Chains A and B, each alone.
Chain A
Amino acid sequence: MPEVQFAGKTFVTDEDGFIDNYTNWSQDWVQFVKKEEGIDELSAEHQQVITVLREYYEKNGIAPMVRVLSKVTGFKLKHIYELFPSGPGKGACKMAGLPKPTGCV
């Protein structure tokens, strides 16, 4: 597993840059991921999406469906892509420290 150093911390990731373990997430991780996910400045809306994803995952053990994410945050899919250019899966979930999306992708 590749290791990355950022802000004096070490994170273990897979080839796609997803964190190895949800519990190893921290705000430093968000800062580290943002540049490779095409995000210049983190806004409150970014933070809101990340918080919703983490709370949903803690409660349900899975990432929410796109429709649920839109409903809870009030952001249309188009806006989620404006915030996270790679989209809710590769962009937001990676940043929130959730496991890599699986299935037929």
Chain B
Amino acid sequence: MKHKTPLLDQLESGPWPSFVSDLKQEAEVRAKNVNGVNYQIPVDVCEDLLGVLELSFKHKRTHWKHGGIVGVFGYGGGVIGRYCDQPEMFPGVAHFHTMRISQPAGKFYTSKYLKQLCDLWQFRGSGITNMHGSTGDIIWIGTTTPQIEEIFFELTHTLNQDLGGSGSNLRTPSDCIGAARCEYACYDTQNLCHTLTNDYQDELHRPAFPYKFKFKFDGCPNCCVASIARSDMSFIGTWKDDIRLDQKEVKAYVGGEYAPNAGAHSGRDWGKFDIQKEVVALCPTGCMRYEGGKLEINNRECTRCMHCINVMPRALRIGNDRGLSILVGAKAPILDGAQMGSLLVPFVKAEEPYGEIKEVIEAVWDWWMEEGKNRERLGELIKRQGFQKLLEVTNIKPMPQHVKEPRSNPYIFWKEDEVEGGFTGDINEFRKYHQR
């Protein structure tokens, strides 16, 4: 290896797959170059990356310069520019830009497709990736400015593949695997994710928003893609009718034929399955009853938390009248504190072409694009102008489901037309009855 890396070498021991070993392996592959690839960026990029990382371990400081603005013509985002602050010591990573590649919904791949991506990235990039970024993109880590347009040309012309989003725009949407292989999926998350990604390409590639905006699609309230925490607009599947209940299968759970939670806790002896203790008593609304070998659910009181279904997936199934809830405003702490999504639309059908869902999205965008301050997330605009305003712009009637609890302070605004006589009082009229 080009640089000594005593600190990083320690991370090659232990049972977990070592990123250091993997990087060294890639460095070796590039050095040997048995396939005779005409590398377009420095051959020793991986070695210099390990070198600069070792230096950061030593200094306990990053060695990347501030920011970086690179990209492809026609788009305002998709590439994260990055330059090393020790380019003489580590010329292989003097330019080390990251490219975001739009991923297929649910992240299902064929090896043929991945191999094509790898061939291109070996040739024009570092060969280092992140599968995947937290937002969902395939991430290509490390290339130089002149390669960016070349890669983009090849991606679009040969691989039929676009970039992901970055900047103050719609970021790459992502979803749980949904109905592809989950019996809890209340709608086709992949189809909705894919459709909206295609419909809003313009908003994704050319930043036009006050700040970033993310979509995420969860098939049920288990939230496997964590939409409620990590997207400005969160789409979470649910149902409106009764949980489908198979008493015969319930008996099989009680009798011990099936492991509870599909065997998720089999690593430890938790005793025999106790339906009363593990399901009925844990139901958050207490709407279940198990008597005489029969399980009953008062569905009117069910909040569809998924617990009973999660514990007995073979006996309990989601209802047949399905759709999704829309929650808005989730964000990380900066600037004014972390937020999770707040319920905006309790239930909407998720059927192609998704007209009702798009109406909500576009109404929210119209409002936020006009009223949002520079770098103000939707969640912060809702705090600043009020949830009431959000309901007005989306034309949604306020309902008890919109709050966890009613306000406790009495600072209540009224609209002038709601108050008899309006807001224009005459002090002289008042004085007629009240002396100074």
Contact = CB atoms under 8 A, between A and B. Distances in A.
Interface of A: 15-16, 18, 38, 62, 65-67, 77-78, 81, 85-90, 94, 100-105
Interface stretch (B46-54, B77-85, B299-307): B77-85
Nearest to A68: B374
B208 A89 contact: no
B125 interface: no
Nearest to B334: A104
B102 interface: no
B67 A89 contact: no
Interface stretch (B68-76, B245-253, B339-347, B399-407): B68-76
Interface of B: 65-71, 73-77, 80-81, 83, 95, 166-168, 202, 206-210, 212, 369-370, 374-375
Contact of B208 (A18, A67, A86): A67
A90 B67 CA distance: 13
Given A16-B81, A87-B76, A90-B71, A105 B369 contact: no
A18 B70 CA distance: 11
A100 B73 CA distance: 17
A81 B70 contact: no
A15 B67 CA distance: 11
A87 B207 contact: yes
B69 A89 contact: yes
A87 B83 contact: no
30 contacts: A15-B65, A15-B68, A15-B95, A16-B68, A18-B69, A38-B73, A65-B210, A66-B207, A66-B208, A67-B210, A67-B370, A77-B208, A78-B206, A81-B74, A85-B73, A86-B71, A86-B73, A86-B76, A87-B71, A87-B75, A87-B206, A88-B76, A89-B76, A90-B69, A90-B76, A103-B375, A104-B166, A105-B69, A105-B77, A105-B166
Contacts of A62: 374
Contacts of A90: 69-71, 76
A82 B302 CA distance: 54
A65 B369 CA distance: 10
Nearest to B212: A104
Contacts of B168: 66
A47 B209 CA distance: 24
A15 B212 contact: no
Interface centre among A18, A67, A78 (most CB of B within 10 A): A67
Contacts of B77: 105
A16 B70 contact: yes
B376 to A, nearest CB: 10
B73 A65 contact: no
A16 B69 contact: yes
Contacts of A85: 73-74
A100 B208 CA distance: 18
A89 B69 CA distance: 9
A16 to B, nearest CB: 5
B67 A81 contact: no
A101 B370 CA distance: 21
A65 B81 contact: no
Contacts of B370: 67
A58 B375 CA distance: 21
Given A67-B208, A89-B76, 15 more contacts: A15-B65, A15-B95, A16-B70, A16-B81, A38-B73, A66-B207, A67-B370, A77-B206, A85-B74, A89-B69, A90-B69, A94-B69, A101-B67, A101-B69, A105-B167
A105 B169 CA distance: 10
Interface centre among B67, B70, B80, B81 (most CB of A within 10 A): B67
B7 to A, nearest CB: 28
A104 B69 CA distance: 11
B68 A89 contact: no
B212 A89 contact: no
A7 to B, nearest CB: 24
A104 B98 CA distance: 13
B108 to A, nearest CB: 29
Contacts of A86: 71, 73, 76
B76 A102 contact: no
Contacts of B65: 15
Nearest to B167: A105
Top 6 nearest A-B pairs (CB, nearest first) are: A87-B76, A85-B73, A16-B69, A105-B167, A38-B73, A15-B83
Nearest to A15: B83
B99 to A, nearest CB: 14
